A and B are shown apart, each in its own frame.
Chain A
Amino acid sequence: METLGAFAILLAFCLAIYAFSASLVGSIRKKAFLVVSGERAVYAVWVLMSTAAGILVYSLMTSDFRLAYVAARSNRAMPLVYKFAAWWGGQEGSLLLWSWLLSTFSVMVLWTNRRKFRDMMPYVIAVLSFTQIFFCTLNAFIEPPFQVLAVGKGVQAVADGNGLNPLLQHPAMAIHPPMLYLGYVGFIVPFAFAFASLVTKQPGEAWIATTRRWSLITWAFQSTGILLGAGWAYAVLGWGGYWGWDPVENASLLPWITATAFLHSVMMQEKKGMMKVWNMVLISATFFLCIFGTFLTRSGVVSSVHAFAQSSLGSWFLGFLSIAVGVTTFMIIKRLDYLKSEAHLESVLSRESSFLFNNLILLASSFAVLWGTLFPVLTEAVMGEKITVGAPFFNKVNIPIGLFLLLLTGVGPLIAWRRSSFDSLKRAFRWPTVFFLVTVLGLVATGVHHIYALISFGLCAFVTVTIVMEFFKGSRAISIKNQMNLLRAMVELTHRNTRRYGGYLVHMGIVIMFIGFTGAAFNKDTTKEVKIGEHIQLGNYDLQVKQVLDGDNPNYSWQRAVIAVTKHGESLGELTPERRVYVSSQQPTSQVSIRRRLNEDLYLNFASMSQTDPTAAIIQVYIFPLVSCIWVGFYVLLFGTLICLVPSKVKYSYARTEVVGVYAKQAQPTK
């Protein structure tokens, strides 16, 4: 079996080289049969990679401990779902997942475009295949997943494997890596189309139209992956809450930021024919950052809580990145003429410039994150001394950036295209500003003095009002014209222009998430050593340790504190934080117990038994206000993205004048 798997990878490697060469040569020499055979090779690569992946998964599921990969990451006691998740539990397996996803995406792209873009497709295939060659090289030669334990040569056969790292045995963790990978790998498709249109000088914005939906879905996967990681970090201990500015977390955030910028600025190209070079740079940067993120995670260049084994992968990734960046930069410079803007900026007070600022700020943020992440590497290269920057640096730069972006989220939709007059702005901003001030003053009156929290909550109110106003004005117009109730009119309005109103829902999700982030300004915590029956007080909560139980099962032994929770004298039930020690790895883990509510989470950790007094437990208590809003906001964001993907009932240009025009007309200056 493992021989077949290894052979499949090797053959896929050869066929990927063939697909790359045949597409390029076929396109340049105008040989249709070569192009077609290249396309068939792409399908074959998928079959082979699926075979390899299938064999690895089968070996994991059937606990075939002859394989080094299976022995190191799986054991008999593990539930089936984690045996499956062990596919991406280690270096070799996750690189195979990358490769397999890439081949799957290539096939999907090829199938959906099999009769379209005959000029562009060979180059799209060339880009996809080139990346496939790179990953197949890693799978076949650098990190092969099908190595068999050298039993007999100083190594004993293993009766049971080591098991997946206990930290990874968590539902969110089982799906977090594949989600992120769907994001990481997915951005290669818009990049491939952008690059192909650059080479073939496609007229119009064909590549954007084709890949808009793809970019959006990929972005949604990337968002989901990041959020699942945050949710996992929150529920599994020791990673500094849901976000710790760890290099590998940053690595996943970087392409997300540039992709967000891209999703905004492509609108400028679609509507105005502006920012063509910029969009090309953004989508390329997004793809490179995806590769770069994989490189950071896999190579161990920067010290991170995630760092996998130090490996020789780094130089391979750097080699691939240099080639990709070099070729893309060369092509963009060569095609500057073709990328010329069709319109000019007319006013600083215009929708166009709000898009530019949005992009500028997002880019600044991603640059700051990149800079902070690579700071130790840079200082070592320049000064010979390794210096790192911590969370305060990232917060100091990114909190103002985040707040400014939040402001733009509210301002953008209120300004007209081309230019806005002060009068129209005054009219548009009246109510949002009133709500901003009311919120800030109301909070100050209730004793909130944290400056960033005040600004953030104020801006959240501001943006919410603008979004509600947009929905209200549009749907009221429809409800009057078509004699329908407001709620139905709102659905109708959204259906007529799903991109615009789905976009607003995404913004609403972001606002709710900001409320959640801002809650961190009011976190409370305490650590206490308590005996049975003793109490801990924090905020309005009173906690009493009832008992400590222990027991074991084949996978781990556990010890659990049972803690009764009361608030204002009213009983709220029991929380049971737990400590586990996994049998095969002897790794202890904490299972925190969380009482989740929209206004605040009560979060308990059973740190350990006391060493000085074996009858006392050390309990850590945290109150995280509003943290649930982050997850709620994410669901809203996802819902908004789905709405964006539904085709609009009315063509966009029509919708803009007929429906949205109800409001835009007011904001536009009279000529």
Chain B
Amino acid sequence: MSQTDLEIVVDDPTAPEEDSPSVVSSGTIEIFVCILLFALAATLGYDNWRTGASWDSTGPEPGYFPFYLSVILGGGSLYGLIAALVAHRKAAETFVTRAQARRVMAVFVPTLLFCLVTQFLGLYVASFLLIASFMRVIGKIAPWKSLLTAFVFTAIMFVTFDIAFDVIMPKGPLEAAFGH
């Protein structure tokens, strides 16, 4: 018998407020991205020109193909820049609200710190710290649950990758102390 009358409810206490003010508009970000892409196209185009973007006795030089791609990327970005500047209506659309930005930062900043910590303490210690602190600080989950989940997950990853599948991850002083 199907039990479709039961309901699963997963509430998120940190859901963003509906009326949060806009931080930046889509139009502004589009203009910014197009300028960045144009700058990238110019830089890569110059580098390819320097490498050699014409023909020699053996055929096209190494920079030939990417140089013309840089030109296409530059053209596309320039078109996008003009289109974004012309489209007034779209410029008013919200790219991110303050509440959304806060939530995005709440995951981005710990991820950035995780990458940094991985470099010095190894991936497994960094994973443990990321999961435990994220669950505790962002999710407001009980400390013992956060620590236990982080430990179990990290241990499973270690056993799966380093032991069972022989995929060696970056290690730090803790693993070295245990002979890994």
Q: Do A and B bind each other?
A: no
